[in-house]
Amino acid sequence: MHDRPTENRPIKEPIRKPWIWIVMAFIILAAIPWYLPGGTVAPIILGLPYWAFISVVFSLALCGYLSWLRLHEWDVVEEEEEREKSEERGE
């Protein structure tokens, strides 16, 4: 990997976007039942106590959100690497 001048290419790095972390904190806090009245169980939804159902929904939302972020909000060196790879293949 030799040095070469910086190219003006947008870098996508999650740390630079506050909304990513605000949404993540919201999902995490929503999945933990601190805001629900202690000791309650009913209603039962799909075989789970309601609060556990809410927790599962937000836990799955966290999985989906993180998976989506990986693929759409992260691009630091991918373009360069893929270009280098295709150049190597082309030679």
Partner 1 sequence: MDDLTFGGASGIIVLVAYAAVMLLIGYLAGRGQPNVRESVKSYYLAGGGLGFVALFFTLYATQYSGNTVVGYAPTAYRTGFPWLQSIMFMTFIIGAYLVFAPRLYAIAKKEEFVTPADWIRHRFQSTAVTLLAVLLMLWGIGNYLLEQLVAIGQGISGLTGDTVPYQIGVVLFVAVMLTYAWMGGMKAVAFTDVMQGVALLVGVAVLLGGSLYLIGGSLGDATQYLIQNEPEKASVPPLDVSANWLSLVLMVGFGAAVYPHAIQRIYAAESERTLKRSLAGMAWMPPITTGLVFVVGIVGISLFPNLGEGESEQLVGMIANEVAAINLFFYVMMILLFGGIVAAIVSTADSALLSFSSMISKDLYARHINPDASEGKQVLVGKIWGIVAVAILLVIAWNPPTTLYNIFVLKFELIVQIAPAFILGLYWKRLSSWPVFFGMLAGASLAGGMTLFGFGTVYGVHGGVIGLFLNLAICVVGSLLITPSKEEAARAERSAELSVR
55 near partner 1 (CB under 8 A): yes
Q: Which of 18, 47, 87, 89 binds partner 1 (CB under 8 A)?
A: 47
Q: Taking CB under 8 A as the rule, does residue 89 contact partner 1?
A: no
Q: Please tell me the distance from the alpha carbon of residue 45 to that of residue 62, in angstroms, as a whole number.
A: 20
- How far apart are the C-alpha atoms of 52 and 56, rounded to whole Å? 6
The residue among 33, 75, 26, 79 whose CA lies nearest residue 53 is 33
- Interacting residue ranges for partner 1, rule: CB under 8 A: 1, 3-6, 11, 13-15, 20, 24, 28-29, 31-34, 36-41, 44, 46-49, 51-52, 55-56, 59-60, 62-64, 66-71, 74-78, 80-82, 85
